[in-house]
Chains A and B, each alone.
Chain A
Amino acid sequence: MNPARGSLLGIEHLEAAEILRLLKFARRMNPDKPRPLLKGRRVLLLFYEASTRTRSSFEIAAKSLGAHTVLIQAIGSSIEKGESLLDTGYTVRAVGADIIVIRHPNAGAPYLMAQHIDVPVINAGDGLHEHPSQALLDAYTILRNKKTFKGLQVAIVGDIFHSRVARSACHLLSKFGVKIILCGPPELAPDIASTLAPGVRVTRHIEDALRGTDVVMLLRVQKERLAGMKIDLPDYIARYQMTPGRLKMAKKDTIVMHPGPIIRGLELTSEVADGAQARILEEVRNGVPTRMAILARALGRMR
């Protein structure tokens, strides 16, 4: 079965025009001025993995559109008793879900769901694969600060290998001709990452990544996913941590982004996290209107 219309499984196969349509609609959304576009509809939030920002942001977005939300988490549900992903999907569909928002530790889990369940499925992060709503809210944030994608250079620094945020960001920005530089040690930023999309290159040197850059996107070193990798954290900090000194190597008006959660003292210092160039909390704020647009689109109400 093909995924239901309105599903958002990833950025890779989304057309640039559709991305712009979503971002444009998001600008009209405001959680403080609720619009009942999804009045009475049911949004099922299926979270197989921990989340603060994404979950609360989807929940507030759904409610701002007048929808009911139900949160199902792995702990405390039948998932704990061994129910399969598809059986959980059939169950929430039978309960009356109109949209399924799913966060899952396995890459591709939202595809499986969308191939079998006849309601729109929104990927809220699947394993190491994609995090499309994050890429869209980041694009929204970049456009608010830089007006256009034209001529931009974005550096993404840190654990690229384990980052679904990085994969989605590369796909999205590449569609608009943005120059993307991935930076980190080979274990975290493997050379193969440059094959993700046109305009992506990999560097080991932070100076190289920052020179002439308009946006610096930092990523957390995902200790919980490092299984077997030997990453020397003090060495990582010495070479890649974002400090006020390093930030000066980038353009004067460069902005600092981070999908969170941030680990102060590791990928960035507190001065940078709380500094004038940081847009980290703005990203979180922008998550709500962006996800309102995603949910409205899911049910064909993005008009």
Chain B
Amino acid sequence: MTSSEKNRNHRLSASLLIKGGHLIDPAVRIDAPMDVLLKHGRVAEVAVPGKIKGGADEKFDARGLVVAPGFIDLHVHLREPGQAYKETIATGTAAAAAGGFTTVCTMPNTAPVVDSVEWIEWLREPERGAVVNVFSIAAATRASKGAILSDFRALQAAGAIAVTDDGKPILDDGIMREALVLGGELNFPVVQHAEDTRMTENCSMHAGARSFRLGLRGMTAAAEASIVERDVQLATQIPNARLHVAHLSTADALKSVRRGKRAKARVTFEVTPHHFTLTDEDMRDYDSNFKMNPPLRSASDREAILVALADGSVDAIATDHAPHAAHEKEMEFERAAFGITGLETALALALSRLHREKRIPLTRVVELFTAGPARCFDLRGRGSLARDAIADVTIFDPKKKWTFEARQSLSKSRNTPFDGWQMTGKVIATIVGGKIVYPG
């Protein structure tokens, strides 16, 4: 149980009945009008409308709305410890709740790097002010220096759900092999930010016609694909190894992952809303809100990712929410920090791009936010609203039109390429452990 749950249980209203909504729960193949009763932090009953007997302490009128399992984001940067000027657990999870996420997995590339049990415990303290569930992904190597593995056993026992050196990919074949071997023994996923940094020095966007025109050194697709290919091969050879490829962005890397899945290797991967929405051609006038790593790729890379989202290959949508202070972004493009925020725009982008434009069924879109990510990291009791599941629920209106304004974001930072975008599809309520946390 996470700290936010413990925190909430004592002030929990005993029961909440969500009435009149359309339940989409891909894990148990429900896509129908259903009422949902939450009791003591769990799902007590799911039944056709009007069939749930007995009163509830609170009722939520979900007529015209979609009721889904609470969304899970496998990849966020909450910036604590050490970088509270960019984001805190409190502000980052408030933004998560506004975006419909009831669970977020926070990355260890903080100051200091989260590579010890002490920091995992610190992150869980009630003082952090988390309003949604926060799981830690710990550093895979000490201080993420890529030389000596961190203590996987102790980190897992302390509650870490995976390990990674996000932002500093593990390049050394021997260390990656060791990580996958030990991770395999412990059933502990190793998450890789796949980038051969020896090939991307001084690069600030995707290598292509646009980077050439702008005079910016480009990251090639090969810099991502070569690492994914190596990792997938290792995962195929090593018994029980679990590899999770973070923010996959290129068609070539996708080929390697597909090969791994066909060979029955335990390989999962996530894609981000910005990679399925934008391409390298969208950046105008050196706007650093279009600078992230991996970079926005070519139209054909985006197309390959859209196909994989539709055909069921992609396991999860993850935001890679990466807040930065204004002064770290308002600078020369090549010197500006990599990363954009993403928690509050993910659902609307997925609904627009995937559901309405590409005709991907709503159940599949919901799966990518729920059952899919829950499977990647074995988040038991989450990702579904089956009886006895944890009472994390996301309620959204798939047709509601709204405008995203960066200055009204609940995140501490404003670095988004989607400022001012007309959106369709909005989160109406976010429920964590049976308690409505958004709107607050």
Indicate if B212 sits at the interface (CB-CB under 8 A).
yes
Q: Is the CB of B212 within 8 A of A108?
A: no
Q: If A84-B331, A86-B330, A127-B334 touch, does A108 touch B214 (CB 8 Å cutoff)?
A: yes
Bound: A161/B212 CA distance, A: 8
A190 at the interface (CB under 8 A from B): yes
A112 touches B214 (CB 8 A): no
Contact A104 B212 (CB under 8 A): no
Q: Decide yes or no whether B402 CB sits under 8 A from chain A.
A: no
Report the Cα distance A193→B209, complex, angstroms.
Answer: 7
How many positions in chain B have a CB within 8 Å of any CB in the partner chain?
19
Chain A CB count within 10 A is highest, among B201, B209, B216, B286, for: B286
Instruction: Give bound CA distance, A133 to B216, whole Å.
Output: 20
Cβ 8 A contact of B215, one of A127, A190, A195, A228: A127
Say whether A106 contacts B212, CB under 8 Å. no
Q: Within the complex, which residue of B209, B216, B327, B335 is in contact with A128, where a contact is CB–CB below 8 Å?
A: B216
Report if A126 contacts B (CB, 8 A). yes
Q: How far is the CB of B408 from chain A (nearest CB, A)?
A: 21
How close is B213's CB to chain A, nearest CB, in angstroms?
A: 6
Chain B, range 305-333, C-beta contacts under 8 Å to A? 327, 330-333
- Closest residue of B by beta carbon distance from A13: B285
What separation, in Å, do the CA atoms of A196 and B334 have in the docked complex? Answer: 21
Most chain B CB within a 10 A radius of its CB, from A108, A111, A126, A161: A108
Q: Which chain A positions have C-beta within 8 A of B216?
A: 107-108, 127-129
Contacts of A190 in B (CB 8 A): 212
The listed residue (B212, B215, B285, B330) touching A126 by CB distance below 8 A is B215
Chain B contacts for A116, CB-based, 8 A:
330
Q: Contacts of A195 on B, CB cut-off 8 Å?
A: 209, 212-213
A192 and B209 contact, CB distance less than 8 A: yes
Question: 1/0 per residue B214-234: CB within 8 Å of A?
Answer: 111100000000000000000
Q: Contacting B331 at CB < 8 Å: which of A112, A126, A161?
A: A112
Closest to B286 in A: A108
A111 engages B285 (CB within 8 Å): yes
Interface residues of A in 181-240 (CB under 8 A from B): 190, 192-193, 195-196, 227-228
State whether A107 touches B286 (Cβ < 8 A). Answer: yes
Question: Are B202 and A109 in touch, CB under 8 angstroms?
Answer: no
| CB–CB B201/A227 < 8 A | yes
Cβ distance A165 to chain B, nearest Cβ, rounded Å: 11
Q: Which of A122-166 contact B (CB under 8 A)?
A: 126-130, 161, 164
Give every chain B residue within 8 A of A127 (Cβ-Cβ): 215-216, 334
Taking A128-B215, A192-B208 as contacts, is the C-beta distance between A107 and B333 under 8 angstroms? yes
Given contacts A115-B285, A192-B208, A227-B202, contact A108 B333 (CB under 8 A): yes
Q: A279: CB under 8 A from chain B?
A: no
**Distance (whole angstroms) from the CB of A96 to the closest CB of chain B:** 23
Question: Nearest Cβ distance between residue B22 and chain A, in whole angstroms?
Answer: 45
List B contacts of A112 (CB < 8 A). 286, 330-333
Contact assessment for A192 and B334 in the assembled complex, using a CB-CB cutoff below 8 Å? no
* The residue from A85, A115, A164, A227 contacting B332, defined by CB atoms under 8 A apart: A85
B286 surroundings in chain A (CB, below 8 A): 107-108, 111-112
Whole-angstrom CA separation of A115 from B333 in the bound complex: 13
Q: Bound state CA distance, A195 and B211, in angstroms? A: 11
Contact A108 B332 (CB under 8 A): yes
Contact indicator B332/A104 (Cβ below 8 Å): yes
Q: What are 6 A-B pairs at a CB distance below 8 A?
A: A84-B330, A106-B332, A108-B286, A108-B333, A129-B214, A129-B216
Q: Would you list the 5 A-B pairs with minimal beta carbon distance, nearest first?
A: A129-B215, A108-B286, A128-B215, A107-B215, A106-B332
Other A-B contacts than A85-B331, A167-B215, A195-B213, 11 sampled, CB-CB below 8 A, are A84-B327, A106-B335, A107-B216, A108-B216, A112-B331, A128-B215, A128-B216, A129-B216, A130-B215, A192-B212, A196-B213
